[in-house]
Structure 1
């Protein structure tokens, strides 16, 4: 009996090892395909979700596949993080592992790009140590109580951010905090300042600026960014501040990637 249990455990271990090995080979194949599809310099990270993998491989149907690439160039940007979650993917294992052309059919996909604070800082002349922070209703109310416009309380915090950076104002290097509204115009990002102060957010004595200085800083922090087409021809639907970045995301469906697509190789 003991020998039988040991044999079963060994067999189970071999099956798990085979499952992970097959998954790794398939992920590598998908990674090479996505590198070509997205025009990347390096292979992206790919994870085929779900266990066991082999049951999905036999049917050729995969519930979800995650793709991540970092430090990608898009339009004016140089350090973009690209993420895509592919759902209801159809790809026979024999084709995935073959050396020739391969085709992935995707039921639907969510694509996301994240723009780092460093990338954003390159577009704002004279601003250093830029940070992108989330903002909430309480912070907007506080900015109003500290002398800001009443319209601050009507801003949707899900489509706003606080940009904090150092720059020279009236001959001195100071930290400037800007509450800005984030807008999508087609594929383009618009950053529209609504409140500008000297001093750290939440400080006891935030300093309002003279109107001429307000005007100059407002122009400095007003941005229109064209990151180019989102991955996998995703239509952007949401722009928000998240984890110290500006994140654009959207959805698409009915994708054919690879040899069977219009632009596939």
Structure 2
């Protein structure tokens, strides 16, 4: 039998060692991938716990203010979450509330906000606060945006046939009015001025007119008085986190409002 010799430059046992090395490398990669997956899962689980805690806090605030909504949907921003826990500082916490409804004092009406988004930025909560449950969770800034449904505003105006809409960046109105002097009903149109007073949106209607309106000062005065009677204050449902209303503008589906606050205690743990 011919003798078997290794190839030139080679040594016995080289191929098995290479196979063992490759196998070890594969095993190491698999272990690292598994550990990374476990860390990601743990990170998301921890974020989920924090999101539920914030959601519970928001629900308690709304209940105290007699405001109804769907269950708060909370998202803790930034990844990884666990490093934020270690630093005691979080990129952002967003809260989405759907179908927000709040009572209007002295009436049976309810102001409806189909969606309200609250975005808290630069949130701080020390590890000791989370561990002991004592201390504050604060945000440097909080911004809330939402839209007041037009049907809520019409309900507060309480005049049959009134219709509101966004019209070239303004709040437009169409309303029927009966003019006794003419003994007939006319449809008038016009725009409104919007302003913010405290937690209320104030709407005043001006310059209502109609193509069928005679050029008569007495009749125009009557229509102007009717326009003033349409003025209405729209109270926004009580907002969480001490948000203060500061801007309103017409949008296709309602009055878009913006509120904000600074240095807000998101929760007082005790």
Q: CA contact under 8 A between 1:64 and 1:87: conserved in structure 2?
A: yes
Shift of 1:102: 6.5
Determine which of 90, 93, 97 is the counterpart of 1:62: 90
Q: TM-score, normalised by structure 2?
A: 0.68
Q: Quick check: 1:248 aligned with 2:250?
A: no
The match for 2:75 among 39, 47, 55 is 47
Q: Which residue of 1 aligns with 2:144?
A: 111
> Match of 2:208?
196
CA separation in 2, counterparts of 1:208 and 1:18?
A: 70
What is the CA–CA distance in structure 2 between the aligned matches of 1:194 and 1:104, rounded to whole Å? 46
Pairing of 1:1-265 with structure 2 (within 5 A):
1-39=25-63, 40-41=67-68, 43-76=71-104, 77-80=110-113, 81-92=115-126, 95-96=129-130, 103-127=136-160, 130-133=163-166, 135-136=168-169, 160-163=170-173, 167=176, 177-196=189-208, 207=211, 209-210=213-214, 211=220, 214-215=223-224, 217-227=226-236, 229-259=238-268
8 Å CA contact 1:187, 1:236 repeated in 2 = yes
SS of 1:193 mapped into structure 2: strand
- Write the distance in 2 (CA, Å) between the matches of 1:113 and 1:97: 34
Equivalent pair of 1:188/1:225 in contact (CA under 8 Å): yes
**Deviations, residues 47-101 of structure 1 (Å, cap 9, x unaligned):** 1111222211222211211112223333423312433211111124675588x66
Note the C-alpha offset of 1:13: 2.8
Unaligned 5+ residue runs, structure 2?
1-24, 105-109, 215-219
Aligned counterparts of 1:128 and 1:45: Cα–Cα separation in 2: 37
CA contact (8 A) 1:65 1:87 kept: yes
- 5+ unaligned residues in a row in structure 1: which ranges? 137-159, 199-206
Normalising to structure 1: TM-score of the pair?
A: 0.69
When the two chains are superposed, the root-mean-square deviation of aligned CA atoms in Å is: 3.3
- What is the Cα deviation at residue 195 of structure 1? 3.7
Alignment partners' CA distance in 2, 1:131 and 1:6: 62
Shift, 1:208, TM fit? 5.6
- The answer on whether the counterparts of 1:111 and 1:232 sit within 8 Å (CA) in structure 2 is no
How much has 1:3 moved relative to structure 2?
4.2
Give the Cα–Cα distance (whole angstroms) in 2 for the partners of residues 215 and 131 of structure 1.
18
- 2:78 aligns to what SS in structure 1? coil
* In 1, Cα distance between equivalents of 2:126 and 2:262: 20
Helix, strand or coil at the partner of 1:259: strand
